[in-house]
Amino acid sequence: MAGQLDSALSSAEQRLWFQWQLRPGGSEYNTPMAYRLTGRLDVPALRRAVDRLAARHDVLRTRFPAIDGVTRHVEEPGPVPWTVTDLRTEAAGERERRLADALRRSVNRPFDLVHGPVFRAELFQVDSEQHVLLLVFHHIAVDGWSLDIIARDLRAGYLSAGDPSAEDHAAEDQPAGRYTDHVAAEREMLAGPRPGAAVGFWRTELAGAPAGLSLPADRPPPRNPGPGADAYPFTLPASVRDSVRAVIGAHRVTPFLTMLTAWAVALATTTGTDDVVIGIPATGRTSMDAERTVGLFVNMLPLRVRVDRRETFAGLLRQVRESFLAAYEYEDFPFQRLVEELAPPRTGNRHPLFQAVFSYQDRRPDEFALPGLTTERLSFPTETAKYEITLDAEWGPDHAAGSIGYQSEVVDAGVATLLAGRFTQVLAAGTAEPDRPLDELPLVPAGETETLLGLDGGPVVATEPVHLSVRRHAKQRPDTAAVRDGDRTLTYAQLDAAATRLAGDLAEAGVPDDAVVAVCLPRSPDLVTAALGVLYAGAAYLPLDPAHPVRRRAAVLEGAGPVAAVITDAEHAGDFPGRTVVMVPPDGDARSPGGPAPRVGDRAYLIFTSGSTGRPKGVVAGHASLANLAAWYRSLAGLGPGETASLVAAPGFDASALELWGALAAGATLDIPDRETVLSPAGLRDWLVHRRIALACLPTPLAERVLDLPWPGEVTLRALLAGGDRLRHPAPPGLPFRFINGYGPTESTVAATCATVEPGDDRAPAIGRPIPGVRAVVLDRDLRLTPAGLVGELYLGGPALALGYAGGTGATADRFVPDPYGPPGARLYRTGDLVRLRTDRMLHFVGRSDTQLKVRGFRIEPAEIETALRGRPGVADAVVSVEPGATGEGVLTAYLVPDGGAVPEPANLRRHLAEVVPQYMVPARYLTVPRWPLTPNGKLDRTALSREARELSDHRPGRTGPQSPLERMVARVWAQVLGHDAITADDNFFDLGGHSLQLMTVRDRLSEQLSRPLPIVALYEHPTVRALARHLDAAAPRTEPDRAVVRESQAGLLRLASLRTARGGRSSR
């Protein structure tokens, strides 16, 4: 009778009802079933057959209201909602399109589970002898098995509709059990001992299983992904079907188990793990009665597969069979109850226990075959998905196929295509040679192997040594400005003459060909003259940053081997006792430029980086790779004579070679901003605009700050290259120039790959593809090709590689290894950087394979800092790492084991380090542990280290808090920027971990609060709270106190406004 109250819901129904409550307007659980019927259709008979379905199966006439707080089955007998749509009035060419649209709308129309119904039918009349029948069910009422029963009963109902005796006979043939009988049986099972056995089995089976599937992703996963989905269908070749049949016969397995094993291997090779958990739909029908009952019986089984690459495919197949049979013993234990009992860790709203599914279907004749009609089962495009990735496999006597369904907000389409190819290849290779170990099988498709080996930037784009290019420009355009620094300008003729004189001075000083000459000068025209003069002399230049400690510079000179001379200025001439010192000729030098003709040695320059041995390590670059680098860099903007490029990088930073020679070899002007400008993002933006710079390169952290600012609508700048650190932000919309993310270690002559960063791209910025002269290969620890999507180590080859390391054949041989995939004699540089090849053939940077660190674009080997710390008073041992700071930014941190009872003082350690390493290598934080915590394998337990360490404080007795209003203002701003709670009046900004970019923020906030601009130099010169407050008080204007002073950032906007064209430009992002 209407409204008949039955039992509460089954576990599976409860899960679906809960999901419906979360998304009552969703359609991801709609289950369609459609047929194209060609011939003379008896529509009234079909209508009666549809109604008879609901009469025969209780769940199809059920709704699910909550009564007294419990959701229950309530039967509502009556006709099934039935709609007939006549498409015959449409133009013949429009009918199929209108049909497809109508089917899509009907399939995606949501159900109301509280008020019902859970089943509807629609008939589309296409022409007089062609109809399409669509039945749509909510998944709470049916599963895949149920659809077969429904097709069979629908056929019987149609055939008997005109024969009362047949219908009476059919009425007697009721299903053996009602779905509510299954609910009662499940409740009885859950009250007995079986749940304890099931939970015990699964707890053991899933112990230590991975918490989630790490599919390749080009963008961070959304916090709450929608159900939108897509699918990639594919067909298995006949040769694969034949080899699968052979394995089935020889190993007594089914196509289901064979394809499941191949799917597990495909997932393992794509995610880089040897342990995968796959969801398997089980029928859940454990009785003869249930096999003839429509309803939601299907249950998900988490199947764990451990993929040992040393195992054969046949051996893994046996393991999968045994694991599946063991799991199938508990197919009736509700998955939702399993999740509640195990309480696995959850990440966002990812599906618990597994995110990948394998679904299998035997292809057999359809149950809905009607005499006098041709019936064709229709399929629908995948528009919603319940799981992140699903392989729907189909097997038949003469056909085998698959479809990779995926959540489109979580999985990229390219990954689905990749998995389809991997699955097909694994299935083909594994069944063709089932007794070969997996790691010997070709598990990567041949076409993909070609892609993995095809990451090549092509031939070099220039071979003329850069200094010979400069000499050529000096002859062709002598009066063109070559280098500019503020108001000082050198033409190409002047630069060439000064460099020639310097080359003569070096020759007189006895500098031989291919010698090393150090250049210790700040960014200036003199630095450019010195570097060019060294190259003219046939030597290699070694830049030394005057800002680095004297002991650091001495260590660099020692590591470079014989250094024939040092070019410097009067300020630093005394820093190099016992060495030949040469000064740059002054601008007014009247000597005739009678030096020797430019020569070409083997080496062009040396750049020193932080070294893993505890000492700085020198990289030697040759002329060919430098010429190629310069040509590539200028090609980013088509830079040529009469245009201007910038020199921002410090002398000891390898990007200075890129900027310097990229401009001069192009015959362009090299413009050098002052220190104040470089340290101010707004000031640098204004400088790039006003100086009409066409091409610029900035360290990544600084580039991100500059891009955050508003830009005029039109600028001369055509390309901005960022490099040195991981780019974390996409390009903002409306940039009036091309923004490029560059990557490259010093060992690949500064640059190796690059990618244009497109505005609006929500993927993590890629490091791109190789530049000309560079070949990239992603390999595993055994130097085997790493498939696309997996993380491997990046190796670089090609003529763009550096020559090696200074004075260390052992170090060179360790990092520059023979290329196993190249011609004889080819080399690869082992970068130590972990990358992943995306499906669009772009490289994505993941991290480091060793302990090397990157802080604000600076490459740091922690061993160099650790060596400097060990043996200091109070320090027995040290470990240096980068830890997240209070503001979320990485902070260089030193962990110390004290020496005896002494407690090391951070201030003393900082002072010592400042004498031997650059400022960026001085840790901001110092923590101690009594002894190193170790893992069971005897390795340093870094998780325990950060948990057990105690931070050393600089706050000693005698230090006072900020007193005056200005001191409190400064301390408050410092605390906000640095993330420190208590700052004293005598704290040093840099000792607290501050750096130049944070100092910019301090300057901007103080300028805003004081309503007057502050020069950045003042903050450097007064690094404590007390000193800066005194300076601010002394520098405060004493007249016109009420006059508003325009802040520097506002002034920048006003200057930009004057640059806007008649067409206008954006004033904010």
Q: pLDDT tens digit string along 589-624?
A: 767 666 566 777 789 999 998 766 667 889 999 999
Same domain, 25 and 169: yes
Q: Which two tokens stand for residue 463?
A: 């071979």
HEC per residue, 753-812: EEEECCCCCCCCCCCEEECCCCEEEEECCCCCECCCCCEEEEEEECCCCCCEECCCHHHH
Same domain, 420 and 297: yes
CB–CB of 881/862 below 8 Å?
A: yes
The Cα 24–Cα 27 span in angstroms is 8
Lowest mean pLDDT among 329-333, 691-695, 1053-1057: 1053-1057
Q: Distance from first CA to last CA of the chain, Å, rounded? A: 65
Same domain, 391 and 496: no
The Cα 169–Cα 156 span in angstroms is 11
Same domain, 37 and 81: yes
pLDDT tens column, 383-431: 778 899 999 999 988 889 999 999 988 898 889 999 999 999 999 999 9
Same domain, 178 and 254: no
Residue at 972 is within a domain: no
* Sign of the dihedral defined by the CA atoms of residues 11, 12, 17, 18, in that order: positive
b/e per residue, 711-721, with b = 16+ CB within 10 A? bbbebbbbbbb
pLDDT for residue 242: 96
- Which amino acid appears at position 591 of this protein? R
Give the domain-ending residue among 952, 969, 995.
952
CB–CB of 506/533 below 8 Å?
A: yes
Same domain, 300 and 336: yes
The Cα 444–Cα 659 span in angstroms is 41
Residue 531's closest CA among 630, 674, 644, 635?
Answer: 630
Residue at 23 is within a domain: yes
pLDDT tens column, 44-66: 999 999 999 988 998 999 999 98
The Cα 338–Cα 340 span in angstroms is 5
Give the domain-ending residue among 905, 933, 952.
952
Same domain, 422 and 286: yes
Q: Which two tokens stand for residue 292?
A: 């003839």
**With 0-12 CB in 10 A as exposed, 13-18 as middle and 19+ as buried, what is 1000?**
buried
pLDDT tens column, 287-312: 888 888 999 999 999 999 999 999 99
Q: Which two tokens stand for residue 38?
A: 């060609």
- Residues 892, 898, 902: CA angle, nearest 5 degrees: 125
Number of domains the chain contains: 5
CB–CB of 686/659 below 8 Å?
A: no
Find all residues with CB under 8 Å of 127, minimum gap 6, and list them. Answer: 88, 95
Residue 993, pLDDT above cutoff 80: no
| Phi (first) and psi of residue 995, to 5 degrees | -140, 180
Mean pLDDT of 438-449: 84
Residue at 38 is within a domain: yes
Residue 936's CATH number: 3.30.300.30
Q: Which two tokens stand for residue 151?
A: 């097709």
Same domain, 786 and 906: no
Q: Quick one: pLDDT band at residue 172, thresholds 50, 70, 90?
A: very low
Residue, of 90 and 493, whose pLDDT is higher: 493
What are the residues facing 617 on neighbouring strands? 609
Residue 1045, pLDDT above cutoff 50: no
pLDDT for residue 922: 87
Q: Quick one: pLDDT band at residue 957, thresholds 50, 70, 90?
A: low
pLDDT tens column, 886-900: 656 678 889 998 887
Mean pLDDT of 664-675: 97
SS3 assignment, position 376 = strand
What are 1005-1010's contacts with CB under 8 Å, separation 24+? 1005/973, 1005/976, 1005/977, 1006/969, 1006/970, 1006/973, 1006/1032, 1007/1047, 1007/1048, 1007/1049, 1008/1047, 1008/1049, 1009/969, 1009/973, 1010/1036
CB–CB of 573/552 below 8 Å?
A: no
Find all residues with CB under 8 Å of 962, minimum gap 6, and list them. Answer: 968, 970, 971, 983, 984, 985, 1025, 1026, 1029
SS3 assignment, position 615 = coil
The Cα 516–Cα 539 span in angstroms is 6
Q: What is the mean pLDDT of the chain?
A: 87
b/e per residue, 338-347, with b = 16+ CB within 10 A? bbeeeeeeee
**With 0-12 CB in 10 A as exposed, 13-18 as middle and 19+ as buried, what is 770?**
buried
Note the Cα 853 to chain centre separation in Å. 18
Residue 240's closest CA among 395, 390, 364?
Answer: 395
The Cα 387–Cα 1034 span in angstroms is 66
Mean pLDDT of 2-8: 59
Residue at 743 is within a domain: no
Same domain, 32 and 177: yes
Q: Quick one: pLDDT band at residue 348, thresholds 50, 70, 90?
A: low
Residue, of 702 and 315, whose pLDDT is higher: 315
Residue at 200 is within a domain: no
- Which amino acid appears at position 157 of this protein? G
Residue 163, pLDDT above cutoff 70: no
Residue 169, pLDDT above cutoff 60: no
Residue 389's CATH number: 3.30.559.30
Residue, of 297 and 273, whose pLDDT is higher: 297
Give the domain-ending residue among 952, 980, 998.
952
Q: Quick one: pLDDT band at residue 319, thresholds 50, 70, 90?
A: very high
The total number of residues shown for the chain amounts to: 1069
What are the residues facing 975 on neighbouring strands? none
Mean pLDDT of 911-921: 82
pLDDT for residue 212: 86
- Which amino acid appears at position 1002 of this protein? V
Query: Could you give the C-alpha distances from 970 to 161, 760, 967, in angstroms and in order?
Result: 89, 38, 5
Q: Quick one: pLDDT band at residue 1065, thresholds 50, 70, 90?
A: very low
pLDDT for residue 1061: 32
Quote the percentage of the chain above a pLDDT of 90.
53
The Cα 489–Cα 42 span in angstroms is 94
Q: Which two tokens stand for residue 917?
A: 């390493």
Residue, of 475 and 961, whose pLDDT is higher: 475
Find all residues with CB under 8 Å of 831, minimum gap 6, and list them. Answer: 745, 747, 748, 793, 794, 795, 796
Domain extent at residue 235: 209-216+225-443
Mean pLDDT of 445-465: 87
pLDDT for residue 567: 96
Residue 660's closest CA among 798, 485, 803?
Answer: 485
Q: Quick one: pLDDT band at residue 175, thresholds 50, 70, 90?
A: low
pLDDT for residue 171: 41
Residue 1049, pLDDT above cutoff 80: no
Q: How many CB atoms lie within 10 A of CB 858?
A: 20
Find all residues with CB under 8 Å of 794, minimum gap 6, and list them. Answer: 776, 777, 778, 831, 833, 834, 835, 843
Q: Which two tokens stand for residue 996?
A: 């130049």
Residue at 755 is within a domain: no
Q: Quick one: pLDDT band at residue 28, thresholds 50, 70, 90?
A: confident
Residue with tokens 């940039």: 735
CA-CA-CA-CA torsion for 37, 42, 43, 49, nearest 10 degrees?
-90
Same domain, 325 and 388: yes
The Cα 186–Cα 341 span in angstroms is 17
pLDDT tens column, 786-827: 888 888 899 999 999 999 999 766 778 889 999 999 999 999
Residue 742's closest CA among 857, 832, 827, 836?
Answer: 857
Strands 617-622 and 565-568: unpaired
Residue with tokens 């120039």: 737
pLDDT for residue 4: 52
Q: Quick one: pLDDT band at residue 173, thresholds 50, 70, 90?
A: low
Residue 776's CATH number: 2.30.38.10
Same domain, 101 and 177: yes
CA-CA-CA-CA torsion for 732, 733, 738, 744, nearest 10 degrees?
30
pLDDT tens column, 524-572: 999 999 999 999 999 999 999 998 989 889 989 999 989 999 999 999 9
Same domain, 230 and 355: yes
Residue 699, pLDDT above cutoff 60: yes
Residue, of 996 and 246, whose pLDDT is higher: 246
- Residues 1050, 1052, 1056: CA angle, nearest 5 degrees: 115
Residue, of 367 and 354, whose pLDDT is higher: 354
Mean pLDDT of 739-762: 93
Query: Could you give the C-alpha distances from 202 to 208, 323, 955, in angstroms and in order?
Result: 12, 11, 54
pLDDT for residue 1044: 35
Mean pLDDT of 132-159: 94
pLDDT tens column, 875-886: 888 889 888 766
Residue at 622 is within a domain: no
What pTM does this model have?
Answer: 0.71
Residue at 252 is within a domain: yes
Residue 151's CATH number: 3.30.559.10
Query: Could you give the C-alpha distances from 843 to 647, 701, 738, 832, in angstroms and in order?
Result: 28, 20, 19, 15
